[in-house]
């Protein structure tokens, strides 16, 4: 039987290439070896998306993006986090085992006095999804190591109280040396407004690449080279590195190479995405079918969690 991998993405809009190279593509490559459960975290998105229509559209966009990138719903599962209603109950049970000090240490709450409560308890929500489904592995970036350790410790704490019910999952990380850099050399993030969307048109993509670090300094070359490392062959990358060493390549040529490579990879994704977005009923059905599979996976463990805590079910 295949081991279960769980991962999630917040319903906050179109994924960028950092999401694609760092999470979506590596996860899709694991579909043959593992049973992949990919949740769309709409509960985690509540503080960031206050409009019903926007939330619903975001969910369809993410669904279409994953399908366009190669997510295979015949062997993997895609669903909306909020549609498993009992997850909220499970979260409350798990919260009873978490101290404010633990959350303070993990989330640095005293340094973020305006942080909303959903974000404050984000680690518990993540733990609820993971432990309820009985995931063997959690697929996440290396910057989430502390959060994953929190999930493992919470599973052990629950088992110590109620018996051996929950699985303490192991982490599995994408095979990336570094986090994907944004247009300004920092980690690519919507918060920094430094992203390249996987759906950017050729014109927008070209404009963003052309305004990448424009100084002829080492940092400018490194940012572009790092992005090239995800989008060109090993042979092409080595050739470019050699030309940099001999100062035989201009920044403009590297930018052109990056545009050509990214556009070649993203064009079929854009085309498939546009086709899927013309079929909203199909996207909704994909999520409904995924929900059934996710509920089937979670049901037995969910009942045991609530029964152990003395709650009727």
Q: How confident is the model at residue 216 (pLDDT cuts 50, 70, 90)?
A: low
Residue with tokens 């599973």: 155
Is the pLDDT assigned to residue 136 strictly greater than 70?
A: yes
Answer with the residue of higher pLDDT: 285 or 182.
285
Nearest 10 degrees: Cα torsion 214, 217, 223, 226: 130
pLDDT-based confidence at 217, cuts 50/70/90? Answer: low
Residue 128 Cα distances to 82, 88, 194, 216, 272, angstroms:
12, 8, 32, 49, 33
Model confidence at 175: pLDDT above 60: yes
CATH entry 3.40.50.620 includes domain 4-176+279-308: yes
Burial of 154 (0-12, 13-18, 19+ CB in 10 A): buried
- Tell the residue number behind the tokens 């920094």, with chain if given: 192
pLDDT band at residue 148 using 50, 70 and 90 as cut-offs: very high
Q: What is the pLDDT of residues 6-38, one digit of tens each?
A: 999 999 999 999 999 999 999 999 999 999 999
What is the pLDDT confidence band of residue 95, given thresholds at 50, 70 and 90?
Answer: very high
pLDDT of residue 309: 92
Give the architecture-level CATH label for domain 190-275: Orthogonal Bundle (1.10)
What residue segments make up the domains of the chain, in order of their start?
4-176+279-308, 190-275
The average confidence (pLDDT) of the chain is 93
Residue 215 reports pLDDT greater than 80: no
């Amino acid at each position: 039987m295949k081991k279960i991998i769980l991962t999630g993405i917040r319903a906050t809009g179109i994924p960028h290439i950092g999401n694609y190279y760092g999470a979506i593509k590596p996860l899709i490559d694991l579909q043959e070896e593992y049973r992949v459960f990919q949740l769309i975290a709409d509960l985690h998105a509540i503080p960031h998306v206050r409009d019903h229509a926007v939330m619903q559209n975001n969910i369809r966009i993410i669904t279409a993006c994953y399908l366009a990138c190669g997510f295979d719903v015949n062997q993997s599962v895609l669903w909306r986090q909020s549609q498993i209603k009992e997850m909220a109950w499970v979260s409350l049970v798990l919260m009873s085992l978490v101290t404010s000090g633990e959350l303070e240490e993990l989330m640095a709450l005293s340094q973020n006095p305006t942080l909303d409560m959903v974000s404050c308890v984000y680690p518990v929500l993540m733990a609820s999804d993971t432990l309820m489904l009985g995931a063997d592995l959690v697929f996440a970036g290396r910057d989430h190591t502390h959060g994953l350790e929190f999930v493992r410790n919470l599973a052990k704490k629950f088992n110590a109280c109620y018996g051996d019910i929950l699985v303490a999952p192991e982490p599995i990380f994408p095979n990336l040396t570094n986090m994907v850099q944004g247009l300004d050399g920092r980690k690519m993030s919507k918060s920094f407004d430094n992203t390249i969307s996987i759906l950017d048109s050729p014109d927008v993509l070209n404009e963003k690449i052309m305004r990448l670090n424009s100084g002829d300094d080492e940092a400018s070359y490194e940012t572009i080279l790092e992005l090239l490392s995800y989008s060109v062959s090993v042979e092409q990358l080595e050739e470019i590195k050699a030309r940099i060493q001999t100062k035989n390549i201009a920044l403009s040529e590297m930018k052109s190479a990056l545009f050509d490579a990214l556009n070649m990879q993203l064009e079929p994704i854009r085309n498939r995405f546009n086709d899927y977005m013309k079929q909203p009923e199909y996207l909704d059905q994909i999520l409904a079918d995924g929900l059934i599979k996710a509920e089937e996976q979670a049901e037995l463990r969910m009942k045991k969690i609530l029964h152990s805590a003395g709650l009727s079910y």
